[in-house]
Amino acid sequence: MGQTQLDWWRSAVIYQIYPRSFADANGDGIGDLPGITSRLGSLKSLGIDAVWLSPFMRSPQKDAGYDVSDYCDVDPLFGTLDDFDRLLATAHSLGLRVLIDLVPNHTSDQHEWFKRAVAAGPGSPEREFYHFRDGDAPPNNWQSMFGGPAWTQLPDGQWYCHLFDSSQPDLNWENPKVQEAFEDILRFWLDRGVDGFRVDQPHAMGKAKGLPDHPDVERAGAGFIEGEPSPPMWFQESVHPIFRKWRAILESYPGQRAMCGEAYVLPLSFMALWVRPDEFHQTFNFRYLDSPWTAKDIRKTIDESFDAFGAVGAPSTWVLSNHDVMRHASRMGGDFGRTTASDGVGPNDPQPDAELGLKRALAATLFTLGLPGSMYLYQGEELGLPEHTTLEPEFRQDPTFARTNGARVGRDGCRVPLPWESNVNESSGFNQTGKSWLPQPAAYANYARDLQEGVEGSTLETYKWALAKRKELNLGHGTFEWAEDLCSESVLAYRNRSLLVIHNFETNETTWKLDS
Ligand code: NOJ
Ligand code: CA
């Protein structure tokens, strides 16, 4: 076994596929599993190691699939279980691993468990699957991440808790039956051959006993304030034994199955508790994504990352874009803080500078790809795609938009279907029909893959070159050292094995004279 085979997840470049926007085989305007299978060859040629698929399980799609109504079936929108098996077999034949998205904090309100709970009535064991409470008013002051209260009342008077949309009731993880049901779900997919899971919101699964008020809801809203005590709905210690059990299940299968937790926990020393050797293999390093792109901030984040994850023997992951935040090619083209980054930008907001944003984003990606650890890429960033920042309100689908009466535009702008072939039709080759569940901005035709393939200096070819170098020098399993003599207030430089990376955070042109 070569070194790159060792603990593959420690160094892997994992490409996030957002199924509804990747490739559409049947032309209905929504991407699907056969579409993904047909394009896996292009991902192989990009040079990635694995893909992570956002949810494709049965779902009413109230939160683009993060509202699951059957964890062990494929939503007809995306295909069938047979289609999934074909996708998996094709990926494996190309040497690509496949992680799927598991959503354990909440189900859809159309899941059998919730329907049974509603039908069985107050006090029934079925209601113990979720958090139901009596009362004339919401049982506490918790807020939904998508805006508005985190409680909805049923006609029989009981309230149920939902940290996200009202169509996404939170499961009660104190209930052993919920725990057992999820162990079966893990096995169902592991038996099918998946290489692991990206786990949605694991830090929300535990709730403080008695569901007390959030002590500072005015200030923290649905979130938390770093350095202050855990709010009652996040980071509860009670969840760790669950993940230890999951890890043991994964390890009982051959072939290094792995799980990455979307544990939005800060500081990083706290996040590292989630990747102790018997828990998650990885977590997303959101601190990196959130850090202002300045030499000072990025240096601090990198140091903290190696310290925190190194202390528990885990690799750091690195991530700049995903389906919940503004694409980094746009984020870096203006002064967009994290709040705006996660809420997107609308036609009435200040607009990013596309050219500057892309230059900075590409430089940021190259800088990041030199780091040891595992890297997550989000579909379309290899084309340099900008955010769709002028999407009109009638197209908005993210529940955040409706729940805040449009005050927050939501995340649709980073979820627009990919352009594959320029000028073949209105959806730039996303399918054969030109239909598209979200319209592409006109500029997307200029970023289509076919315009970049084989073109020296294109964003796509630059990604391919960097990914090939990363593999050739085994940088993911590499070493890290600041090249202090080259670092300054606006420049960071480091060495990983024989590679020297120098990054200028300013827009001025600079040259360096190197000794060798
Ligand atoms: C995090 C997912 O990435 C996001 O898209 C989703 O809306 C929430 N979790 C709720 O599942
Ligand atoms: Ca389709």
**Looking at the chain, how many residues does it have?**
516
Residue 171 CA, chain-centre distance (Å), reads: 21
Tell me if residue 262 is catalytic: yes
CATH architecture for segment(s) 8-107+176-475: Alpha-Beta Barrel (3.20)
pLDDT at 6: 78
Checking if the pLDDT of 2 tops 90, the result is no
Q: State both tokens at 305.
A: 């990352």
Under 8 Å CB-to-CB from 148, ≥6 apart: which residues? 403, 404
pLDDT at 516: 61
Reported as type and span, the H/E element at residue 271 is: helix 268-271
| Distance from C-alpha of 386 to C-alpha of 395, rounded to nearest angstrom | 18
How far away, in angstroms, is 38 Cα from ligand 2 center?
Answer: 13
Catalytic residue among 24, 67, 83, 200: 200
| Distance from C-alpha of 437 to C-alpha of 448, rounded to nearest angstrom | 18
Write the pLDDT tens digit of every residue in 222-234. 888 888 888 999 9
How far away, in angstroms, is 24 Cα from ligand 2 center?
Answer: 4
Mean pLDDT score, 489-509: 95
Q: Which of 200, 265, 286, 289, when mutated, tests ligand 1's pocket best, judged by the most ligand atoms within 8 Å of its CB?
A: 200
Write the pLDDT tens digit of every residue in 262-284. 999 899 999 999 999 999 999 99
Catalytic residue among 32, 109, 262, 382: 262
Domains 8-107+176-475 and 112-161 share a fold: no
Checking if the pLDDT of 236 tops 50, the result is yes
pTM score, whole prediction: 0.97
Confidence of residue 339 (pLDDT cuts 50, 70, 90): low
Please tell me the number of the ligand nearest to residue 79's CA: 2
Query: Which residue's CA is minimally distant from atom 6 of ligand 1?
Result: 66
Q: Which of 16, 63, 100, when mutated, tests ligand 1's pocket best, judged by the most ligand atoms within 8 Å of its CB?
A: 63
Please tell me the number of the ligand nearest to residue 414's CA: 1
Tell me if residue 200 is catalytic: yes
How far away, in angstroms, is 467 Cα from ligand 1 center?
Answer: 28
Q: Residue 363 burial by CB count (10 A; 0-12/13-18/19+): exposed, middle or buried?
A: middle
pLDDT at 225: 87
Q: State both tokens at 77.
A: 């929108």
How far away, in angstroms, is 79 Cα from ligand 2 center?
Answer: 8
Average pLDDT of the chain is 95
Tokens 């809203």, residue? 221
Under 8 Å CB-to-CB from 227, ≥6 apart: which residues? 267
Domain boundaries, given as residue ranges, for the chain:
8-107+176-475, 112-161, 479-516
| Distance from C-alpha of 350 to C-alpha of 186, rounded to nearest angstrom | 44
pLDDT at 384: 98
Q: State both tokens at 84.
A: 């999934």
Confidence of residue 4 (pLDDT cuts 50, 70, 90): very low
pLDDT at 317: 98
Reported as type and span, the H/E element at residue 97 is: strand 97-102
Reported as type and span, the H/E element at residue 503 is: strand 499-504
Confidence of residue 69 (pLDDT cuts 50, 70, 90): very high
| Distance from C-alpha of 122 to C-alpha of 108, rounded to nearest angstrom | 19
Instruction: For residue 105, give the ligand 1 atom closest to its CA.
Output: 11
How far away, in angstroms, is 61 Cα from ligand 1 center?
Answer: 12
Q: Poorest-confidence range of 40-49, 186-195, 228-237, 438-447?
A: 228-237
Checking if the pLDDT of 261 tops 50, the result is yes
How far away, in angstroms, is 95 Cα from ligand 1 center?
Answer: 28
Q: Report the percentage of the chain scoring pLDDT > 90.
A: 91
| Distance from C-alpha of 345 to C-alpha of 341, rounded to nearest angstrom | 8
CA dihedral (83, 85, 91, 94) in degrees, to 10, reads -110
| Distance from C-alpha of 232 to C-alpha of 447, rounded to nearest angstrom | 45
Mean pLDDT score, 409-422: 97
Which residues have CB under 6 Å of ligand 1?
A: 63, 66, 103, 164, 200-201, 262, 323-324
Mean pLDDT score, 30-43: 98
Q: Which of 283, 324, 397, 414, when mutated, tests ligand 1's pocket best, judged by the most ligand atoms within 8 Å of its CB?
A: 324
Please tell me the number of the ligand nearest to residue 432's CA: 2
Most confident of 342-356, 372-386, 394-408: 372-386
pLDDT at 3: 38
Checking if the pLDDT of 397 tops 60, the result is yes
Topology annotation, domain 112-161:
Oligo-1,6-glucosidase; domain 2 (3.90.400)
CB atoms closer than 10 angstroms to residue 351:
16
Write the pLDDT tens digit of every residue in 119-175. 999 999 999 999 999 999 999 999 999 999 999 999 999 999 999 999 999 999 999
Query: Which residue's CA is minimally distant from atom 4 of ligand 1?
Result: 324
Write the pLDDT tens digit of every residue in 289-310. 999 999 999 999 999 999 999 9
pLDDT at 515: 75
Amino acid at 295: A
Checking if the pLDDT of 340 tops 60, the result is no
**Is residue 250 within 8 Å of 273, Cβ to Cβ?**
no
Strands (E), 201-268: 258-261
pLDDT at 226: 86
